[in-house]
Structure formats: C-alpha cells, structure tokens
Chains A and B, each alone.
Chain A
Amino acid sequence: MTSNSHLERILERREFAVTSECGPPRGADPEVIRKKGGLLKGYVDAVNVTDNQTSVVRMSSFASCILLKEMGFDPILQMVCRDRNRISLQSDILGAAALGINNILCLTGDHQKFGDHSTAKNVFDMDSIQLIQTVKWMRDDGKFLGGEELKGVPKLFIGAAANPFADPFEIRVPRLAKKVTAGVQFIQTQCIYNMDKFEQWMAMVRDRGLHERVHILAGVTPFKSVGMARYMKNMVPGMDVPDECIERLKGVDKENQAGEGIKICVESIQRLRTIEGVHGVHIMAIEWEEKVPEIVKQVGLHPRPSA
C-alpha cells in the first residue's frame, strides 16, 4: 500500500471497485455536495470530484473533497493543469494530503475555450503525465520538483484518465504506457459506449502487460435521453457513441428513454466486468447521481465492501 486510500485497498485485494463522481456546485452552498454525497453513500468505494470541468467555474475540487471526507467518503481529488503552475499544484498536493485526501486524479484539463471564462489566460506549466511524475516524486522521493526535501510526504494513490476513443488510435495504448511509466496506479477511462473498440483497446493493453501494472476502471455514463446521446456523439470531443445506442433510445417512447439509458448502462457494466484487466467501473451519472444506487444494485455490486 502506498497510501491510506480505501480505493487502493479494494483494488489491491482484487475486488471489483465502484467509483462515481460528484460535480461541485456553481456557488458556495455546501449542501449541494452533501446532498449528492448522500445519494452515493454506501454504493461506491470512492468519489471523484471534478476540477472546474469543461472550464466552467465551480466550487473547488479540494474544498468539495473535504466536504465529502467529512461525510466518510474516500474522495478522489481531480487536479487539472490548466489553471495552476507547478508552485500551486505542489502546494495543493501537500494541503490535500494534510487534510486526509488519499487519492488524486492527474488530468490535463479542458481548454478554457469551452467554459464560461473563455477570455482567461491558461497555464499548462505541465501536462498530466508530468503531474503524475510530480506526485510520485513528492511521495516516493520525498522531494519538491525543485529538488528540496519535503518535511512530510503526501501519501496519495495516483490516478489518471485514459481515452481509448480519441485519435490517433494507434498511440492510445503507448500513451497509457507513458502514464504507467510515469507512475500512475489507477486509470479511469472516458465513457465507454463502443464496446468493441474498447475490447480491442484492452486487448492491446494486455498485449503489453499494462493491465498488470495499473488498475483500469472502465468509465460509463447512462443516457437520460436520445437528445443527450446525440449531443455526446456530436458535440463532445473524443467521445465515441455508436449509432446502435441512438437507435435503441429512439426506439422507445420519450418517457421510457431514461429507463432504457439505465438498461444500456447496466448491460455495459455486465459486459465490462467480463473483460480481463478491467478492475472496476467508474459511473459518471452527470447531474443524475440518484440513479447510481439503482445501477450498482442491478449489476450486483451492492453492498460495497467495508474497510
């Protein structure tokens, strides 16, 4: 064990892990986070807290993680490179570890163009791979990037994202290999809808033995409607939504589309569980957290193991 992470413990015991995520509110009301937390409690092993996702300003991931920690969760602090340089990133890593956050997800971050402050200056002093290296360096070598010794190292379980569907496809596995070399311990993937392509990616991951060096948690997001599926297919960069999904949702009445979306999600998880090297599932029910318990129960992953 490299940290006190509940998620790391579960993955090390080779139990199939369940994580979900919680998007912080666009305001200072902590009850929003507590309410979302309340919906997930007992159904997940750890909760990601997004870091100003799509570059829309929200309550900080750090503060929201603390609110979830107070509720007994093992939060996963998402950290993007868009808004902070190496001074600020290292400082927040130390602060997070001091307050008992055990997991970090190292991300590059969406470009500010997508958000509500598109005129901002971006930072990108480092990228996600260099952030992984940084956390590992601080934890295992006990040093700052500048070379000075740390007084108290941040015991963090290090995660990152992988998108098996972005282009160019041929470097998607080499890119994962780079993250593994950098020191990543768990991966949460982009939402998977194209199962065949994901299986092809996993086969390539296994060919290189990467599935034995990193825990892969397969990402899923239930569709609320055919409109959402179309939006994800056409508007979200790096998303692969096959036409079958759209046809299937179109084939049911409007009021039954959400239910069909949950059904697709449950079937996906069932298939993902059978893939060698997939050690867990990451359920991103965007502003639909109340559906997570139902999904977890339907796939037979409830109750969750205690510590």
Chain B
Amino acid sequence: MANRKPLDEIEEMIKGYQKIILVGCNECVTVCAVGGEKEVGILASELKLSRKKDGKEIEIKEVVLERQCDHEYIEQLRPFVDEYEAILSMACGAGIQFVAEKYRGKPVLPVVNTTFLGVTEEQGIWVERCQGCGNCVLDRTGGICPIARCSKSLLNGPCGGSTDGKCEIDKEIDCGWQLIIDRLKELGQLDRYEEITPVKDWTTSRDGGPRKRVREDLKL
C-alpha cells in the first residue's frame, strides 16, 4: 500500500524542471488507487493547472508501465528518457529505486509514500497484514500475525492495554491478540495460548540487513 504525497511537496521536488516523465505502475499501486493510469492522468492535470496559475508551463509525458520492479518494463522508458529532465515515479519505493538504478543520469523522484503490505478490507479501505519478517508464525497464532497486528509486535500478548477488543494506542485499532485468542477459540486451540514463544530470530527480517533471494534453478 502507498499514499500519494501532497501536491505542494511534489511541486517543490520538481520546481526546477520544465520537462518531466510521470510514470505509473500497473501493479500494487494501481490496486490501492494511488499510482495507476487514472492517478497518472489526475496528477499530470493538477501539476499543469498549478503551473498555469503561476503563469508557467510544464511538459509532462504520461507513461504507465506494467511493473517498475522488472528490467524489461523499465527499459520501455529508454527511447525518450533523454528528452526529459527528471522522472517522477508513482510506483512503490522498490520500483522508484529500480528506475533510478537504470537511469543514473536522471533524477528519479517519489510521488508516493510506500506504507505497508495489506489487503482491501472493503472498497476504499486497505489494512496492514504482513511486515515481511521472513519467518512466518501464522500456523501458531490462528492465522493472525502478532508482528503486524499487535502495535508492539508482542509474541506473547496481549499487553495490559487491551480494552474491549481494542488496542491501547487507538480505539479504532483492533487488539491483534484479542483477534488471535478469538480465532484460537473458534479453532478449538485455545490451549496453544499457553505455549511460550521464545525470543525471535530477527535475522530473516530487516535486522539481518537488506535481503536477497536467489533461485539458481531460475537463473539464465
């Protein structure tokens, strides 16, 4: 999931440029309605309109790539990239960086703040479900992640702040451990609650440094 940055922040980033490429992405940012074809069109209009108000012009080439996390799609910018001063990417943080790696001579600027791995709870509402810790415990916690859904990522929760099924930090946030306990009960596994989960090995998470996955069988 991602959120678009405020217009004035984007304008500040591009204030020195007259010719830019605005690149959307057809993957996750399209699903969460922040960086797909439609949003590319909207942002381009907003930027042009705003410049016009100040009596200035901006030329924006609107492009939407299938993905910004694969070489072959990013290559599609190559034929015209030299004609522009900067690239404004509407992809997630990974896509923005991959574009920047490929076009080293061009400033590549973020349009969105990448936030979390989540699901569409209902139309217009997305919620976090996974923190990519690299060592899934969902088999033991009734399919509800304590790392992502407890505000303190407690492996032996809940803390004393759980009230009426809600988290101490916000009455709008469900207590992750209440959800786990409810689910364990439904599954007839409440006895599992008393198993103590020992300290976690965080090396599979970000704490082990930037992560890399290699599949020798798929390499060319």
Contact = CB atoms under 8 A, between A and B. Distances in A.
Interface in A231-274: 237-238
| Interface residue tally on A, bucketed by range | 35 or more
Interface in B163-220: 163-165, 168-170, 175, 178, 181-182, 193-194, 196-200, 202
A113 B199 CA distance: 24
B152 to A, nearest CB: 5
B153 to A, nearest CB: 5
A178 B168 contact: no
Interface stretch (A96-104, A122-130, A221-229, A298-306): A122-130
B155 interface: yes
A26 interface: no
Closest 3 CB pairs of A and B: A163-B160, A237-B168, A237-B161
Interface string A62-75: 00000000000000
Contacts of A86: 199
Contacts of B168: 110-111, 114, 237-238
Contact of B160 (A126, A171, A182, A190): A190
Interface residues of B, number: 30
Interface string B142-169: 0000000001111111111111110011
Contacts of A130: 155-156, 196-199
B163 A133 contact: no
A127 B194 contact: no
A81 B196 CA distance: 17
Contacts of B193: 171, 174
B159 A108 contact: yes
A242 to B, nearest CB: 16
A120 interface: no
B194 A177 contact: yes
Contact of B169 (A113, A125, A161, A174): A113
Contacts of A53: none
B155 A127 contact: yes
A212 interface: no
Interface of B: 151-165, 168-170, 175, 178, 181-182, 193-194, 196-200, 202
Interface of A: 81-82, 86, 108-111, 113-114, 122, 124-130, 133-134, 145, 161-163, 166-168, 170-171, 174-175, 177-178, 181-182, 190, 237-238
With a 10 A CB-CB cut-off, give which of B161, B163, B197, B198 has the most chain A CB atoms.
B161
Contacts of B200: 125-126
A166 B199 contact: no
Given A114-B168, A161-B160, 4 more contacts: A108-B160, A145-B199, A162-B160, A166-B160
B181 A168 contact: yes
A167 B152 contact: no
A175 B200 CA distance: 19
Given A166-B158, A166-B163, A238-B160, A108 B152 contact: yes
A168 B161 CA distance: 10
A108 B155 CA distance: 11
